[in-house]
Each structure stands twice: as C-alpha cells, then as structure tokens.
Structure 1
Amino acid sequence: MTLFWIASVVLVVFSCILIALPIYRQKVNNDEALRDELNKAFYKDRLSELQEEAEEGLVEDQQDLIEDLKQSLLDDIPAQKDNANGSSISPMAVLIPSVIVVIVLSYGMYMKFGAHQEVQEWQQVTANLPALSKKLMAPEGAALSDDEMRDLTLALRTRLHYQPDDSTGWLLLGRIALANRDVDTAIGSMKKAYDLEPKDPDVMLGFAQALMLSQDDVEQDQARRILGELVKDDYVDLRVFSLLAFDAFERKDFPAAIRYWSVMQQMIGPQDSRYEMLSRSIENAQKQMGQQVGTGKSVSVAISVADNVSVDPNAALIVSVHTADGSPMPVAAARYPVGSLPRTVVLDDGNSMIAERKLSSLDTLMVRVRIDSDGNVATKQGDWFGESEAVKMGESVTVVIDKQY
C-alpha cells in the first residue's frame, strides 16, 4: 500500500511540472516596446510624406502638422503604458491554483471512483491470512463462513503470487477448492504443491484426493499409485484407507472396499462414533456382492518385527489364519511383498483356502506370519516367523515376528 501512495505522489508531482513548464517557459511579449517601435516607424514615414507634400506645394502649414504628429505620439504613450501595467499577471498566480486543482481532482476522483475501499479491504484480508489459516487448520475449521472462505482464498492467491514456491500455501488453496468442489482449481493447486514437495505425506494425500475427483482415468490411476505409496510407506492415516475404500466401491471392487473399511474399524475401535458408519458401509458392500448381511467377516492383522530381525526387502510376507488350536492347515492365507514393517493387512473370505470352509465361519482363531526369504513356501529353514494368541473373530490381532526356524 505504501508503494501505491509513493507512486501516486510521483505522478501528481509530474503533472504539476507539466503545468509549470509552459508558464515559466512562455515567450515574453513586450507589447510596449513593440508599440513604441511601431509608432516611431509611423512617425518617420509620416514625416517623409509631409516633406514630400511640402516640396510639391501641397502643404502650407508643415510645421503645425509636425507638431500635431508629435503630440499624437506623446498622447499614445501613457495610455499604452497604463494598459500594459493593467494586464500584467504573475506566473505564480496561475501556477498555485492549477497545482491545487490537480491535487484535489486526482485524489478526490480516486477516492470517489478508484476502488479505494476495495483496496483497503484487500490489504486487510491479506494481513489476516495467518488467523484465517489457523482457523481453517484447527479441528473446528469447517465452521469458516462463506465470506471467510472467500477472504482466505483471496489472501492465499495474493501470497502465492509473490511466493510461488510456498508448498503449504498451494496445499491450503487446494483444500479450500476441494471444500468448494472446484476440481480444476484443487488439482492445479495440489499439483503445484506436489511438484514442490513430492515426498510430503500431507501433500501426497491432498493431491491424491483431488485426482480422485477427476473424470480422467489417467489421473485416477495416478491417485491410486500415490495412495499405494502412502500405504507402502506405512503412512497410517484414516483418510488414506477411506479414499482407497471409496475408490474400490466406485469400481465395484467390493471385497477390497470391505477390507479397507475393516482396517479403519480396527484403527478407531468400537468406541468411536464412526465405527457404526463403517459397519453400514461394509453391509452395503456386502449387499452389492449378494451376500447376506452379517456373514461377511474379516481379520485385521498388525504385523511388526523384533529389533534383532533382519528383513530382506525382496522377501515375501505370508500371513495365514488357523483355528484356535493351532492346526497346521490354514483356513485362509495371503502372500504380500514385505514392504515396510510394521504394517497392517486384512484377510477375509476371499482368502479362504477351501470354498466349503470360509474364514467367516470361525468363532476363534490365531494368525501366523512368516517372512519367506527364498520364494518357496514349502521350505522354512532360516525363515523368521511369529504367531498370535487365540482371539475371537472380530478382535484385533497383533503378531510380532521374533522367531526363526
């Protein structure tokens, strides 16, 4: 704002200079001197004419005519001087009122028609950016009014214009656009944040969330890859599994949706108010699969390793569910890349070994987890493993890999 006023003062001063220059540089017209010269020339010409007329005998009283001519010349001098003195105007008498008019008109017209009030409000909104950002990021951020959201958007755009490398600002602008269902702005803002901080989990999640709303299959595939990286890096956030579950449900991959929602249930526990909502989502997915509500069950397994265990990143992770008595024959099993540990996996009826005996038929169970280093399930020599205690179906299962065959 200070820069604006400085620029306006410079422009006004320049305008005043343009007014002053013609006043002080105007050519001085000395009318008195010009009239004297003219009168002298007229006097001399008339004297010459009288002389010629006298020589020709046309004039008898030449001397009287010369006296009259001199008298008329003298009579013209005082009147001419008075007239010249009466018309004299000081340059300052013209300059000062002109400068005052320029200044009053310039700032008066700006105050009236120059959006002065809007500029002031813009400056106030920009200064209020930290407070608005803090309010948005707080748990009660959803309470922001429409006016506050517009103010925050304006302030962010202003800041990002001057600081285009602010990844946090782009992320915040993208979140506002998501809240307003402005998909194009959300994707564009989140992409700028992602280009600046491609490994930041919050930025990755925000960009994936924006891409999920796109109608472009390529962008949706990119969102799935980003979410897969978050899960692989063990970025434990309910929103990651929520996006994966929503995407799976939209693609009619109902077993996958059920698994993700089940993981969310295990993460929040039955005491959380969202638990029942997730249960309804699971039941809805089961209905879509043609299953009877209440028969679909899954087992969520939290897997970790002891400090003395060395894990080959190229090994496989074999998770098997057994009856509570520890029977060697698994009821359900699944094979995963080791990835990063600790991690959580979910098994359901889709992982059952025998169609006639589903995982959901168990009342109690135990889980074994093994790191298969050679790729051969039949060989166990040297493999690390762990197993859980017997638990009831629906309870969370924890397995620590700390033993070696």
Structure 2
Amino acid sequence: MIDFWLAAGLLLLVALSFLLIPVLRSRRAQLEEDRTALNVALYQERVAELQVQQQEGVLDAAQMDAGRAEAARELLADTEGVVAPRVTRLGKAAPLLAAILVPVLGLGLYLHFGASDKVELTREFAQAPQSMEEMTRRLERAVAAQPDSAEALYFLGRTYMTQDRPADAAKVFERTVNLAGRQPELLGQWAQAQYFADGKKWSDKVQALTDEALKADPKEVTSLGLLGIAAFEGQRYQEAIDYWNRLLDQLPPDDQSRIALQGGITRASEKLVASGGKVAQAPAAKPAALLKVRVDLAADLKAKVQPGDSVFIFARATSGPPAPLAAKRLTVADLPATVELGDGDAMMPQLKLSNFPEVQLVARISRAGQPTAGEWIGRSQPLASSTTAPQELTIDSPDK
C-alpha cells in the first residue's frame, strides 16, 4: 500500500507542476515588465532635462537631437530581449486555487469511489493466514468490501460454523441464499446453522429448508446428515440410520467422514436394539457402473496432431447436468488406449455413472489442455450406464 501512495504522490507532483510553472513564469515576466517601465521613465526624464537645457540656451537644435537619439539608443539597449507578457484572464489566484483544490478533490473522490480497501485485501489474501481468527477477520473484511459477493459470504458462513458460531453463520447463509438463489447446498447449510443456533431444537423453519433442499436434490449431503442428527436426538433411530445410509452412499470411498458416519449408524443401531426394536435392512445398493472404452484416432488426423496434445475421455449424462460424470486424461502419444470409467472416477459424489440410466462417451483432443474446448472430438451414441460390453470410440471430427 505504501508503494501505491508513493506513486500517487509522484503523479500529484507532476500534475501540480503544470499548474505552478505558469505562475512562476508570470512572476518573472512581471519583473521584466517593471524593469522596462523604469527604463522608459529614465528615458523620459533625460529628454525632459535636454529640453530644459535647450530652453536655457545651453544646447542648440542639433545638440538636442543628438542627445535625444543617444537616450533612445540607451533605452533600446536596456529593453532588448524582453518579451512582452502574455495577457491571461485567469489571473494569479486561479492556478494557485486549482493547485490546492485538485489534489484535495482527487483524494476525496478516490476515497469515496476508489478500491484501496480491495487492493489491500488482495495483498493480504496472497499470504497464508497465521490462525483461524486471522482468516475470519479477512473474510469479514472481504464481505464488508464486497457485500454482494455470494462466494465470500459462503466461506464466511462455513468459517463461523467451524468456530462454533452457528447464529452468525445462519444470518450469513441467509444472505448468501438471497444473493445466489435457493440452491440445495446453500439451503442445507442454512438449515444446519439454524438448527444449531436454536440449541438443537427442530423447528418448522429448519424442516422447510431441508424439505426444499431435498426436493431439488434428493442427495443433498448436508440436509441428509442434519435429518439424521435430528432423528437420532429425537430417538427415532431407524430414521437416523436410513438418512445416514443415504448419505454414506454419496461419499467417496476415501472420505474421512465415512468413519464418523459409520460410527453414528452403529450407535443408532445399538440404541434401537436396546429399546426393543429391530434394525431394518437397507435396500440393496445399485451395482457400481463401469464402462470400458477403447479410444483411437482417425487416420486422416494423425498427421495433424502432436504427441503431447491432451486427450480427455469422459462420460456425461444424456439427460442431466452437463458436467462430466467420470473422466480420464491421456495424451495423443498414448493412443490407441483402453480406459475404464466408473463410479470411482466421479467428479462429484452426487454425480456418479450409476445414478444416471443413459450416458454418452466423449473423447476430445485439446492442444491447450482445456477439457471444455479443443480441436478434434469423438462422440458415441447414447448407451446404458450399466453396459458391460467394451466400447469403441474414434476421434474423427473437428470440435465445434
């Protein structure tokens, strides 16, 4: 920030020079004008003396003319090189007043409309925070500087939750929803914060938020986890087991929260049995999808590609979100190649191959390494995600 103010000060000095230099020049011109006036007065005084001497008979007409000519030569020599001052209507006060008002007005406008606070925030975020409290302060400043940033609000709400400040988090998530729309994930986060802010008491508001979230996305993980917690606290152990099992199905195999979640299911099962109940068997899970595809390059394209060009192979739902359900990355040098795309390659837990009945296989060559745009592409016909037969995919068309 110091560098910024130094640069601004230097530019201000340059700007002031354009205002003050004319003032200094006008003062010099005034001195020249005063000296010329003095010389003219001396000339007039000398001529007057010569006229007196002529009247007294001391000088004749020829001597009078010679003396007047000599005085005129002296006046011309004294005023030679003096430039006539330029007439200005601004006067001397206007530039001086502008020299004072321009920087003051510029500073005021910058402080009001400028972004010095955002510049400072950017510099701070470039360095890793030393503590969670420092991170929270940074996020609070970011929200103050950018009150319409849903992303900043979301991260601030998550930070409040890690600091056991659910009431503050609930207010922040409510603002986030108002800005970003009623997205299932945001509704789930808001419901969770509100539940803990109310002292773990289930309310109509929390129920409405979780219902809306799961209606839009039946696999919304925060709502499933929260409903499981509420059911467990209300001694509805079978409901808790069902919700947590549904959540467990959405988590990746290496997710660390699976251990805690499985522990909660075990405790709920034990309490259900101890109360005389019986744990209902969960419905059989869908078998994991696994597609095998051999990818090759059309013969007429082999001379147009380079060995290091990236090759993205992915499967996407024919009816559903445009995001890839599973993806692999190779290079042209690896072709032809056979790859497997399965649930373990899911880009997001809720977007698994097995969750969509029909998919399309796509292979794209991108010299820039961008999975969303490239030079050449190959597409398969729609096929069932449960397909087990190996598939053939040829890259043979310009990517438009």
TM-score interval, smaller chain? 0.3 to 0.5
| Rg larger in structure | 1
TM-score normalised to structure 1 length: 0.39
| TM-score of the superposed pair, with normalisation by structure 2 | 0.40
